[in-house]
């Protein structure tokens, strides 16, 4: 506890809670290191200086909070712009897909209509062929009947 107060006094007395927490955890590590080898205390003091340097770099002054806020706002703006661009690209792809689908449907409807028309014309041609065949058959039957009747008459005479 005294070390925290001393560290706070050394840093100017205006250290933030983050600094105190960082230093207090370093102090605990230092206490653990003091129980072990003497060489490890050098490492922990280097570690403490490094952590102290990083905490001062992040918390170093009143302008850093506004700078951090500015960075976060820039990040959020970039994220929002990326989201807007993504949404616009998605909507453009969706619109393109819908246009292709509509064109495909129109093509399929045109093909279906063409198929129906071809089938109808085929049926009409088939019906005309049947009628011609039937007329031909009737003429053939009439001719055969006339020939048979003529042969009968010739035989009866």
Enumerate the domain spans of the chain: 1-62
Query: Residue 154: what pLDDT?
Result: 86
Q: What is the mean pLDDT of each run of 10 residues along the chain (157 residues)?
A: 55 48 49 50 56 52 81 96 97 98 98 98 98 98 95 84
Measured CA to CA, the distance from residue 52 to residue 31 in angstroms comes to 17
Measured CA to CA, the distance from residue 30 to residue 23 in angstroms comes to 10
Measured CA to CA, the distance from residue 36 to residue 30 in angstroms comes to 10
Q: Which long-range contacts (CB under 8 A, 24 or more apart) does 103-112 make?
A: none
């Amino acid at each position: 506890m005294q070390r925290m107060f001393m560290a706070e006094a050394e840093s100017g007395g205006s250290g933030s809670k983050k600094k105190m927490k960082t230093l207090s955890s370093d102090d605990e590590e230092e206490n653990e290191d003091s129980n072990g080898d003497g060489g490890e205390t050098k490492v922990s003091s280097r570690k403490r200086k490094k952590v102290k340097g990083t905490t001062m770099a992040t918390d170093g002054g009143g302008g850093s909070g506004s700078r951090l806020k500015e960075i976060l706002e820039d990040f959020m703006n970039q994220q929002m712009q990326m989201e807007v661009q993504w949404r616009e690209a998605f909507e453009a792809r969706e619109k393109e897909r819908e246009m292709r689908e509509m064109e495909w449907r129109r093509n399929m409807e045109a093909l279906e209509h063409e198929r129906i028309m071809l089938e109808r014309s085929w049926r009409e041609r088939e019906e005309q062929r049947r009628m011609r065949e039937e007329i031909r058959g009737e003429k053939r039957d009439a001719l055969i009947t006339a020939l048979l009747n003529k042969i009968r008459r010739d035989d009866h005479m």
